[in-house]
Amino acid sequence: MPEFRQNLATKEWVVLATERGKRPSDFTKERPPRVIPPPFKDDCPFCPGHEDKTPSPMYIFPEQGDWQVRVVPNRFAALQPNLATTRSSVGRFLSAKGFGIAEVVIESPKHNLTIATMDIKELGNVLLAYRARLREISKNDKINLITIFRNHGPLAGTSLEHPHSQIIATPIVPPHVRYPMEQAVLHFDKHGTCVYCDMVREEIDQQERVIAQTDYFVAFCPYAARSPFECRIYPKRHTASYSSIDGEEVMELAALLRELLARIDIGLNNPDYNYVLRSSPVGDEDTRHLHWYMVIIPKITIPAGFEIGSGIYINTVSPEDSARFLREVEIK
């Protein structure tokens, strides 16, 4: 029997319609065989030895010796750092110059790694680079929102093979981000608690969608997952901004994120995916009603006219089945 489920935080609804759907294992079959690229490519601008193909880095780790992580300005940036932020009117319409910051996090010198195959220490260095850039960009008082994300594979919007993620910082905090914040305030004022803390507590209580847990973090397929195998990682302690993560937490997060992506990579045969690190807007780092988290979306289904029109996503694999499937994947 199909079911509507509401996202506790955003109040958006999904439809679980599993009868029409496939079993989780059906999603692994139709992909072409995996081709592992070489560890170094002559024509890759992100490979070591080609540092002159990218603008000067704003972050490099380690500072001496061979680099492990480099963060550089995006040469194909959609936004530019040298513009004003004032709004202007075009008749009844509102416009602003495209001020913003766009950076690329080159996650490893090795061309053929990805999060699922990095070692935990390497991934820890990537997560530390996210924190460093989040902290640094937050000092720019024209920036209000910093989005950190990773596109893996062409269906997720990248054709670049070398492992990398991206940071885009904007002066604008759009309704897409504001609306869940408003819902979080309503929840806080009604219940006196962070809605995301409550969601985490409920997922841990119900257990059946939990994939893995550590001291500081929990990974689950959310109750109102919009698509098959959607996963999220939340810190268990209340924190609105990723900028406050400490070194011990970073290493735990690295281990958990790597495990999750290895389960997805092996279980679903290297699907394309996006992940997003959602952290509070700049200035709201200490607020009691927001909570940072990561969402991982394997690109397995296509939102169509109904999703575009209504915003109600039809998910053909229940998050309970998705979580069970991912838990049972054998990883090294």
* Closest-CA residue to 19 (of 324, 268, 314, 238): 314
What is the smallest separation between the CB atom of 247 and a second copy, expressed in angstroms?
25
310 lines the binding site for a second copy (CB under 8 A):
yes
What is the smallest separation between the CB atom of 48 and a second copy, expressed in angstroms?
25
Element (H, E) at 205: helix 195-206
Does residue 100 sit in helix, strand or coil?
coil
What is the smallest separation between the CB atom of 38 and a second copy, expressed in angstroms?
26
Among 297, 300, 317, 326, binds a second copy (CB under 8 A): 297
158 lines the binding site for a second copy (CB under 8 A):
yes
Q: How do strand 164-170 and strand 145-152 relate by DSSP bridges? A: antiparallel
Q: Which window, 29-37, 128-136, 194-202, 241-249, contacts a second copy (CB under 8 A)?
A: 194-202
Among 205, 215, 246, 330, binds a second copy (CB under 8 A): 205
Q: Is 162 a catalytic residue?
A: no
What is the smallest separation between the CB atom of 144 and a second copy, expressed in angstroms?
11
Report the C-alpha gap between 36 and 134 in whole angstroms: 32
Q: Which of the residues 100 through 119 are near a second copy (CB under 8 A)? A: 100
90 lines the binding site for a second copy (CB under 8 A):
yes
86 lines the binding site for a second copy (CB under 8 A):
no
Number of residues that bind a second copy (CB under 8 A): 77
Q: Which window, 93-101, 120-128, 235-243, 245-253, contacts a second copy (CB under 8 A)?
A: 93-101
Q: Could you give the string, one character per residue 44-83, with x where binding to a second copy holds by CB under 8 A and - elsewhere? A: --------------------------------xxxxx--x
* Residue 99: strand pairing partners: 80
What is the smallest separation between the CB atom of 324 and a second copy, expressed in angstroms?
17
Could you give the angle at which helices 247-267 and 319-328 cross, rounded to 10 degrees? 90
Does residue 147 sit in helix, strand or coil?
strand
Q: Which of the residues 225 through 284 are near a second copy (CB under 8 A)? A: 274-278
Place of tokens 């319409």: 93
CA geometry: angle 324, 225, 192, nearest 5 deg:
110
Q: Is-contact 122 113, C-beta < 8 A?
A: yes
Report the C-alpha gap between 219 and 245 in whole angstroms: 17
* Token pair recorded at residue 116: 């699922």
The set of catalytic residues is 164
